C-alpha cells in the first residue's frame, strides 16, 4: 500500500477506532481507492467496488496476510461508527465513504 496522507475526519480522530489499526488502514485504503477511481454516487458520496479478498491482499504487508473475516469485522466496525456504508451488488461489494 502506498503512503497516503490527508486530513482524516474529526469524527475518526475522536472515536475509539484507533484501538483497531486494521480498521484505520482499511478506512484509509477504501478512501484512497474511491478518490482515485472518482466515482460519485447520490449526494456526491464517493464509493468504490471491490471484493473482500482483493482488500485483504492489498492491505496485507510484510508477508503477514490479513484474513477476509478480519476485513469483514473491521468493515462492520466502520459501519457502526458511521464512516462507511456497504451494499452488495452482483459483481462485488460497494463501499460508500460517508
Choose between 91 and 12: higher pLDDT. 91
Please give the average per-residue pLDDT across 75-93, as a whole number. 86
pLDDT higher than 50, residue 1: no
DSSP helix/strand/coil, 45: coil
Q: How far apart (Å, rounded) are the C-alpha atoms in residues 52 and 19?
A: 21
- Domain-wise residue ranges, the chain: 16-82
Q: Is the pLDDT of residue 85 over 60?
A: yes
Q: Looking at the predicted structure, is the pLDDT value of residue 42 above 70?
A: no
pLDDT at 40 over 70: no
Amino acid at each position: 500500500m502506498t503512503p497516503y496522507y490527508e486530513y482524516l475526519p474529526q469524527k475518526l480522530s475522536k472515536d475509539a477506532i484507533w484501538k483497531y489499526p486494521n480498521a484505520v488502514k482499511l478506512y484509509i485504503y477504501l478512501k484512497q481507492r474511491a478518490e482515485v477511481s472518482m466515482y460519485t454516487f447520490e449526494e456526491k458520496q464517493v464509493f468504490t467496488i471491490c471484493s473482500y479478498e482483493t482488500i485483504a491482499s492489498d492491505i496485507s504487508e510484510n508477508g503477514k496476510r490479513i484474513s477476509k473475516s478480519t476485513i469483514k469485522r473491521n468493515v462492520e466496525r466502520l459501519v457502526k461508527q458511521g464512516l462507511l456504508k456497504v451494499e452488495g451488488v452482483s459483481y462485488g461489494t460497494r463501499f460508500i465513504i460517508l
